[in-house]
Structure 1
Amino acid sequence: MSRSTPTHRHAWPPAGLVYGVDPSRFQDSNGDGIGDLPGVTGRLDHIAALGADWLWLLPVYPSLRRDNGYDVDDHEAIDLRFGTPADFTALVDGCHARGIHLMIDLVIHHTSERHRWFQAARRDHRSRLGSYYIWSEEPIEAPGDGPVFPGEEDSVWSYDDEAGAWYHHQFYGFQPDLNVANDDVFEEIVRIAALWLERGVDGFRIDAAIPAVRPKPTAGTGADPADFYERLRRRLSAVREDVVLVAEADVPPPEFAALADHGRVDAVVDFSLNNSIFLALARGEAGPLHTALERLDRSVAASARLNFVRNVDELDLEQLEDDERAEVFAAFGGSPDAFLYGRGLRRGWAPMMGDERRFRMSLSLLFALPGVPLLMYGQELGIGDDLSVEGRDACRPVMQWAAAPGGGFTKASDAPLILPAQRGGPFGFHRVNARAQATDEGSHLTLARRLAKLRGRVDLAARPVRRHELPGSPSVLALSVDGCLTLHNLGSQTAEVFEAYGSKPMLTERWNGHLLGPYGFAWLRRG
């Protein structure tokens, strides 16, 4: 594969946003019912028009996709269903020609059981390749060492008949954990990342960054997070000086601060603020966001925080207290079928909001918060979900491009990834699609594009953001950057904001100069 570079470069943080794409669900280019790399390349103009500086491409590795591609069979290859090495090069070149950087997943926590390393390890678990994984003669019970997916797995240990031993897996049984404390495993990680950098990738989202380095219940399996990621940064920077590392870390700010300190990683995917967003929305009060932002500001610079409202997993509310989580469940659950793993909801962003005004306000809020916004594919349209589909796939619809039989996603008569609800209903592709929204001045897509442009013009990525508590309007989150003031009414009642008198509107909904209507928002120029 050839190496190309963007036509213009800039350091992290980006001025715009990060756009996440599941290649299997974005665009099918060959009519087999599965999205692919040429499909993504063919839709890069849509991503560029949205204001994305980074494209995060979810796993393209060979996989049975039992865990949406994170059950990796080979970290060095491309799944043939997605395309060829030449197709990947075309995607890299297409991104860079538009000034878009490309980020892929670096899955260091585990492999699939089909991976050649594990196949060799099970033949002799005491061999060099055997030491890549975590084995025991008997299952070891340890405090806090439970399955990531409660109810899906009964234990973090599975017995392998060929090895005659038990192997450790925090995720599914088909995803044996790697021992990243092993020097040989670390060198493999560096080698794999260097390979993709040579193929033109600009950065990596490190999946399960904290669980990967936590000690397992056997000796020699833990790595200090600061030391591990400092070593990784140093080694990868030697390959490419401007490589960007983003860590997925569903832990409180003080714990993930060590990753961002000293530039070990450029940013952390911030679940703590995500949890507080939903608590604030459930209460219709800005208080939880003030608390979360204050805690974050003490720990990690805003430029090192990647913010999101919904990803394409369950809405994981693990960082809330039990009573707080119950509040969010009551406000947004809607049905017992929506709950998953005892900690989250498998509903989509737009359906959960229940009110189109609240969805649009929360979209604006994402762009106004200190940090870098992350949008997953289709969220700019307000696509839906389908609780009739098992597990987390309920909130993983395909992209909706047009009011056509396959939603513009595919020409195949049978496309297994299209959710039944996408063929009809209020969020079906006949009602919600990119083609219709692109020319509609009042659409969600138009709003997302305007927000991205406005955010870049205000330069939210590089300037400190101030919080303003409004005692008379507890439902309103007020943030300012130099001469820009943003207001977001999280509640269903009109609020008066005396502090905004005389400000000039740049982008507003349900704002008349001093009153902010239910779920209204305003981007204002002060002075």
Structure 2
Amino acid sequence: MTMSAETSAASDKDWWRGAVIYQIYPRSFQDSNGDGIGDLKGITARLPHVAALGADAVWISPFFPSPMKDFGYDVSNYTDVDPMFGVLSDFDGLIAEAHRLGIKVMIDLVMSHSSDQHPWFIESRSSRFNPRADWYVWADAKPDGTPPNNWLSIFGGSAWAWDPTRMQYYMHNFLTSQPDLNLHNPEVQDALLDMTRFWLKRGVDGFRLDTINFYFHDKELRDNPALEPSRRNASTAPAVNPYNFQEHVYDKNRPENLEFLRRFRAVLDEFPAIAAVGEVGDSQRGLEIVGEYTSGDDKMQMCYAFEFLAPDPLTPARVAAVQDAFSVAAPDGWACWAFSNHDVVRHVSRWGQDVLDRESFAKMLSAILLTQRGSACIYQGEELGLTEADIAYADLQDPYGIQFWPEFKGRDGCRTPMVWDAQALQAGFSTAERTWLPIPVEHQLRAVSAQYGDPVSVLEQYRRFLAFRKQHTAFAKGDILFLPQDGTMLGYKRQYGNETLLCLFNMGASAAATELPIGEWEVLTGHGFESGLEGRRVELPAWGAFFARHA
């Protein structure tokens, strides 16, 4: 069954600007066949939850055929569904149900690399003279047999692996089983763009582009320079990884990427109301690259920035600094912000290790995320206030965690299955005796069934606030203007057309107060936060928030 994008796309080509996108990790959302692993039919069955939450779109992490060495981010066939997740008709059914519920569907495209089991790579490595010999990044060894240069893999060690058939090295920015595609070859670009059209014709509304700044490498294979210790930042890779010791100017972030992104955008523009968000993985130049990739209207509509996914504590000063830096680096650009995803420690744990009232803490953070200038991603389980799971070494699945254990425990702690029913086997995720990752008891207690309808729950606060957000266009599309920072108090205005909204947050564990800015303000309700107002003095409890509209 092939669906036209025209049947699913709304007339608003700007729907993505300020959209709330709900990220689904397929292995962990809902298992429909009892094998302990989530699948497409399971996602379809749970889409009413996303609709009830109030999200505008879903982003579905990879579900393509894959040997699953990196759990789907190692693709062996770009135009099919892995049997683990179902068949193509299951995806068509998912699209139909999402569109019936008014939800856009974005899928994850991995175009910087493939699996080493992809037919393209199998042919490429078979000889130096086959039709796809140049579809991947191959290079001769140095005279002493060592790799061509000093490039490093994010997963540790050299970014080069030796192939005895070709007697050459191939490049891999990630696992050795994830060889990098050579996008300098126009045929590779054409194949990837054809794949993009395949999914657009099936009715998808957009894409999340994995590792978008890794597409091109330096043709001369020049060594990366060392990065001085004071500039090392562990947000791209864990601190124990020597990847952070280099300035990555030649193995990624290359200028050739801009022209390819223009070609990609031209394909999107063949269809109505399609949007793409690019994941920029770079801790030194992240916002600068976002500016480059989203400038004008011929590349990405928005980019997925890492500033709020880093371990740095979230403070009023940091929120303001990130937005200010973005406005300088990308004055014409648009960001897609997230506090959690499938690659980082869940933010309630990452920022709240010493917080006693994590319920209130989670609610406040949700309101901060959902009132930033930009679009917002909510990662499954975030709306339940889930914490990072503590996974035993024997249960680890993530090769990243296995490589760097115990200093870095990998990404399994944020990938455990979604919890639906506090009373059911495996929290309603699966009927299997064993799920692919264990479900923590503390998560089961926070299941959807335990929170649904409870007005003080984190889940109901997310639903309430998303509904409140939709009543005010300024939250989705407006400019942002920060007030002077005052202790634990974060304040900013959102302005769009004739509407000016005031947002105040107490980011501290004790009550705090501040004065209203100059002007007449109408206190807004319906957002779920309580506060006190005496004259112009606003009093907020710990982790509290206040919203008003300029009268």
**Shorter-chain-normalised TM-score: which range?**
0.7 to 0.9
Q: CA deviation at 1:68?
A: 2.2
Residue of structure 2 in register with 1:334 after alignment:
none
Q: CA deviation at 1:235?
A: 3.2
- Give yes or no for the alignment of 1:232 onto 2:268: no
Letter in 1 for 2:312: L
d(CA) in 1 for partners of 2:179, 2:281: 20
What is the identity percentage for the equivalent residue pairs of Structure 1 and Structure 2? 28
Letter in 2 for 1:511: S
SS of alignment partner, residue 245 of structure 1: strand
Which of 348, 351, 355 is the aligned partner of 1:350?
348
Residue of structure 2 in register with 1:272 after alignment:
307
Q: Please give the residue correspondences for 1:94-173 in structure 2 after superposition, counting only pairs within 5 Å.
A: 94-138=97-141, 139-140=146-147, 142=149, 145-149=151-155, 153-173=156-176
Residue of structure 1 in register with 2:543 after alignment:
519
Letter in 1 for 2:256: D
Residue of structure 1 in register with 2:454 after alignment:
440
Residue of structure 2 in register with 1:246 after alignment:
277
Do the aligned partners of 1:508 and 1:521 also contact (CA within 8 Å) in 2?
Answer: no
Q: Please give the residue correspondences for 1:106-505 in structure 2 after superposition, counting only pairs within 5 Å.
A: 106-138=109-141, 139-140=146-147, 142=149, 145-149=151-155, 153-215=156-218, 218=221, 224-238=256-270, 240-251=271-282, 252-263=286-297, 264-275=299-310, 279-281=312-314, 285-300=315-330, 304-314=334-344, 347-352=345-350, 353-354=352-353, 355=355, 356=358, 357-389=360-392, 390=396, 391-403=410-422, 404-419=424-439, 422=440, 424=441, 427-429=442-444, 431-459=445-473, 460-470=475-485, 472-473=486-487, 475-481=489-495, 482-499=499-516, 503-505=522-524
SS of alignment partner, residue 362 of structure 1: helix
Q: CA deviation at 1:166?
A: 1.1
Structure 1: segments with no counterpart, 5+ residues: 315-346
Deviations 1:69-93 (A, max 9, x none): 1011111110011111111110011
Letter in 2 for 1:265: M
Do the aligned partners of 1:148 and 1:171 also contact (CA within 8 Å) in 2?
Answer: yes
Q: CA deviation at 1:26?
A: 0.5
Q: CA deviation at 1:367?
A: 0.5
Do the aligned partners of 2:478 and 2:494 also contact (CA within 8 Å) in 1?
Answer: no
Letter in 2 for 1:233: R
Q: 176-185 vs 357-366, which deviates more?
A: 357-366
Structure 2: segments with no counterpart, 5+ residues: 223-249, 397-409
Do the aligned partners of 1:508 and 1:522 also contact (CA within 8 Å) in 2?
Answer: no
SS of alignment partner, residue 173 of structure 1: coil
Q: Please give the residue correspondences for 1:74-93 in structure 2 after superposition, counting only pairs within 5 Å.
A: 74-93=77-96
d(CA) in 2 for partners of 1:89, 1:181: 33
Q: CA deviation at 1:493?
A: 3.1
d(CA) in 2 for partners of 1:516, 1:480: 20
Letter in 2 for 1:270: A
Distance 1:512 1:306, change over 3 A: same
SS of alignment partner, residue 134 of structure 2: helix
Residue of structure 2 in register with 1:319 after alignment:
none
Do the aligned partners of 1:13 and 1:462 also contact (CA within 8 Å) in 2?
Answer: no
Residue of structure 1 in register with 2:244 after alignment:
none
Q: 45-54 vs 4-13, which deviates more?
A: 4-13
Do the aligned partners of 1:473 and 1:496 also contact (CA within 8 Å) in 2?
Answer: no
Measured on the aligned residues, the alpha-carbon RMSD in Å equals 2.2
Deviations 1:453-477 (A, max 9, x none): 111111122222222114x445323
d(CA) in 1 for partners of 2:387, 2:317: 28
Question: TM-score scaled by structure 1?
Answer: 0.85
d(CA) in 2 for partners of 1:2, 1:524: 47
Q: CA deviation at 1:206?
A: 0.9
Do the aligned partners of 1:181 and 1:223 also contact (CA within 8 Å) in 2?
Answer: no
Q: 174-183 vs 212-221, which deviates more?
A: 212-221
Deviations 1:172-230 (A, max 9, x none): 11100001111010001111001111111111111100011242654999652221211
d(CA) in 2 for partners of 1:93, 1:510: 40
Distance 1:258 1:15, change over 3 A: closer
Do the aligned partners of 2:16 and 2:275 also contact (CA within 8 Å) in 1?
Answer: no
Distance 1:438 1:369, change over 3 A: same
Residue of structure 2 in register with 1:6 after alignment:
8
Q: What is the total number of aligned residue pairs between the two structures? A: 478
Residue of structure 2 in register with 1:330 after alignment:
none
Residue of structure 2 in register with 1:337 after alignment:
none
d(CA) in 1 for partners of 2:172, 2:479: 41
d(CA) in 2 for partners of 1:259, 1:7: 24
Letter in 2 for 1:351: S
Letter in 2 for 1:146: L
Q: CA deviation at 1:510?
A: 5.1
Letter in 1 for 2:275: V
Letter in 1 for 2:329: S
Do the aligned partners of 1:489 and 1:521 also contact (CA within 8 Å) in 2?
Answer: yes
Distance 1:523 1:51, change over 3 A: same
d(CA) in 2 for partners of 1:200, 1:457: 29
d(CA) in 2 for partners of 1:226, 1:495: 47
Do the aligned partners of 1:134 and 1:218 also contact (CA within 8 Å) in 2?
Answer: no
Deviations 1:289-309 (A, max 9, x none): 222211111233587210100
Distance 1:388 1:444, change over 3 A: same
Residue of structure 2 in register with 1:343 after alignment:
none
Do the aligned partners of 1:478 and 1:488 also contact (CA within 8 Å) in 2?
Answer: no
Q: 510-519 vs 174-183, which deviates more?
A: 510-519
d(CA) in 2 for partners of 1:79, 1:174: 17
d(CA) in 2 for partners of 1:350, 1:170: 30
Q: 381-390 vs 163-172, which deviates more?
A: 381-390
Do the aligned partners of 1:209 and 1:249 also contact (CA within 8 Å) in 2?
Answer: yes
Letter in 2 for 1:469: P
